[in-house]
Amino acid sequence: MAKILVDTDVIIDSFRRSNKKDTLLVKVFSQSKNIAFISLVTIAEIWAGKSMSGKEDLRVAEELLKNCHVLMSSIKTAKKAGTILRQTNYQLSFQSAQIAALAIENKLAILTLNQKDFKKVKGLKLFPLR
């Protein structure tokens, strides 16, 4: 069993695919005892999507929230995110730095399709893609 912080791109990928069984989100969480965490940043990014004006995507997003633990940012998180931005020479987005900071702070591996950028963050554990 692993506690995993899910990056926004994994969730968006699952929304876009017609066959949900093939998504990374379903593969990692459906048949295992892994525990999903998401950040407030991820919630904001999901709700910012244009498809969220549709009832079906809104229903799916609400259902997803029921099955995830939501992590709150703090001043410590903000400082860590700023440090990550500086240390990576601003090669990550602010949102990604916030998500990485939460993962480090909470000792969680991060599940992301953006392994290339997140590999630049010192001390961040990446959940292996299968």
pLDDT digits (tens, 9 = 90+) for 14-39: 888 777 778 888 888 887 789 999 99
Considering the domain boundaries, does residue 128 fall inside one? no
Q: What are the CA-CA distances from residue 82 to residues 79, 90, 117 (Å)?
A: 5, 9, 16
Sign of the Cα pseudo-torsion (88, 73, 36, 107, in order): positive
What proportion of the chain, given as a percentage, has pLDDT over 90? 65
pTM of the model: 0.90
Domain that holds residue 13: 3-118
Q: How far apart are CA 50 and CA 67, in angstroms?
A: 23
pLDDT confidence tier of residue 61, bands split at 50, 70 and 90: confident
CATH of the domain at 72: 3.40.50.1010
Does any domain span residue 125? no
127, part of any domain: no
Q: What is d(CA 27, CA 48) in angstroms, rounded to the nearest whole number?
A: 25
Is residue 130 in a domain? no
Asked if the structure places residue 80 within a domain, the reply is: yes
Lowest mean pLDDT among 45-59, 82-96, 114-128: 45-59
Is 123 contained in some domain?
Answer: no
For the chain, the domain total comes to 1
Q: Quickly tell me which residue has 């987005």 as its tokens.
A: 93
